[in-house]
Amino acid sequence: MSGEAVTILEDEVRELVRRRGLDPVTDRARVVDLLDDALADYDERAVRGAVPRLPDPAVAHRRVLDAVAGLGALQPYLDDDEVEEIWINSPSQVFVARRGEAELTTTILTEDGVRELVERMLRTSGRRLDVSSPFVDASLPGGERLHAVIPDVTRRHWSVNIRKHVVRARALDDLVALGTVPVPVAAFLAASVRAGLNVLVSGGTQAGKTTLLNALAGAVPQRERIISCEEVFELRLDARDWVALQTRSANLEGEGEIPLRRLVKEALRMRPDRLVVGEVREAEALDLLIALNAGLPAMCTLHANSAREALVKLCTLPLLAGENVSDRFVVPTVASAVDLVVHVERDARGRRRVREVLGVPGRVEAGVVETAELFTTRDGVLVRGEGFPPHADRYARTGTDVAALLRARW
């Protein structure tokens, strides 16, 4: 295809967009109509020899639309369902992940091109990226999550990550179909959520924690009111009564920041029946424990290498809230507040699997939270353990015979 012809068409469309005052992100449909008209006019001029011909008008249409209203050279990767994540280490190093495997692409950008792409992605987010705020987390209009870092925090080039949600599991049945969790375990987890047990989802980066949390939240009864708190909007619930909250960065004057701790506190004033916290990283763990200790059912995610390590970490994070917070309060509170820990991981082939499910009976021995092994992985297969979950009475109130459920055939 003639690169010159596409460049001419793109420049003309950009000028028309500017003259009509359109926002390519929010007015995409109008940009498409404008591009259709511009392409028809271009073809007429090409027939007269006024401009170079377009060998493939359909390809030209897509490329110009991607450049003007999309993310240019990155747009094909966003449109590719097999691509899970896109990251830029430098203008000449653009990587994608397909089915968990990293792949260096042939895409070559420019320094200015990378900056322009990030600025375009941030335009609708209300978030900023500059010397005083060199990191940014934001959601794109399509639900993708953007993370960008600029020099001199990075050595030389802008670092950009775009995490897609290729498969959005809205229910545990979706995870069963994907092979993430066996049917009996999914049935047990759904019954546990309906019974109001507090669930902690643990795992490493890109292990599928948010996807599992989203699926678990899909088991919450429709009559319940859900309040979710996240750093950046990622959850997509089908709940009838759901309010989603996200954090906010400080403005140029250093004011107006809303951290996750504040969101958790405010959520408690919004009459929640269920609290869902996207990810616990720091001192907000204390506010979450206080909410759980008040009898509010909740679910959250946490980075950890195993279910037991997740409990240890949850006993440590609240100590960041201040010197007056003691492990003598935190450890027994964790033991009494957390009911289940579900650990998910990604294997060497990029497949996401639930690896273990622990019950927390509520006891502490020598400063260590006791656990009961409900499901564990042996020889690569998730099997029934010997433990039993807490709060059998809560299962009974929802009409579930948890003992029979755990005896279900695999």
Q: What pLDDT is attached to residue 400?
A: 95
- Is the omega angle on the peptide bond into residue 80 within 30 degrees of 0, that is, cis? no
In the sheet where 372-378 sits, what is the strand order?
Answer: 241-246, 225-230, 274-277, 298-303, 199-203, 340-346, 352-359, 372-378, 381-384
**400 is written with which tokens?**
């579930």
In the CATH scheme, what is the homologous superfamily, with its name and number, of domain 172-407?
P-loop containing nucleotide triphosphate hydrolases (3.40.50.300)
Q: What pLDDT is attached to residue 140?
A: 84
Lowest-confidence segment of 133-142, 239-248, 383-392 by average pLDDT: 133-142
Domain assignments of the chain as residue spans, ordered by start: 1-70, 74-166, 172-407
Of residues 311, 308, 357, 306, the one with CA closest to residue 337: 311
Residues 6+ positions from 133 with CB-CB distance below 8 Å:
249, 250
pLDDT digits (tens, 9 = 90+) for 187-225: 999 999 999 999 999 999 889 999 999 999 999 999 999
| This prediction's pTM | 0.83
- Whether residue 253 is predicted with pLDDT greater than 90 in this model: the reply is no
Torsion over CA: 103, 106, 110, 113 (sign): negative
The radius of gyration of the chain's CA atoms, rounded to the nearest angstrom, is 25
pLDDT digits (tens, 9 = 90+) for 257-305: 899 999 999 999 999 999 999 999 999 999 999 888 878 999 999 999 9
Of residues 121, 89, 93, 87, the one with CA closest to residue 107: 93
- Whether residue 251 is predicted with pLDDT greater than 80 in this model: the reply is no
Separation between Cα atoms, residue 62 and residue 107, nearest integer Å: 17
Separation between Cα atoms, residue 37 and residue 24, nearest integer Å: 16
Given this chain, do its domains 74-166 and 172-407 carry the same CATH topology? no
Q: Quick one: average pLDDT of 74-88? A: 92
Which three-class secondary structure state does DSSP give residue 196? coil
- At 1, is the pLDDT very low, low, confident or very high (cuts 50, 70, 90)? very low
Q: What pLDDT is attached to residue 142?
A: 78
88 within 8 A of 159, measured Cβ to Cβ: yes
Q: Which amino acid is at 217?
A: A
- Whether residue 325 is predicted with pLDDT greater than 80 in this model: the reply is yes
Class of the CATH-defined domain 74-166: alpha beta
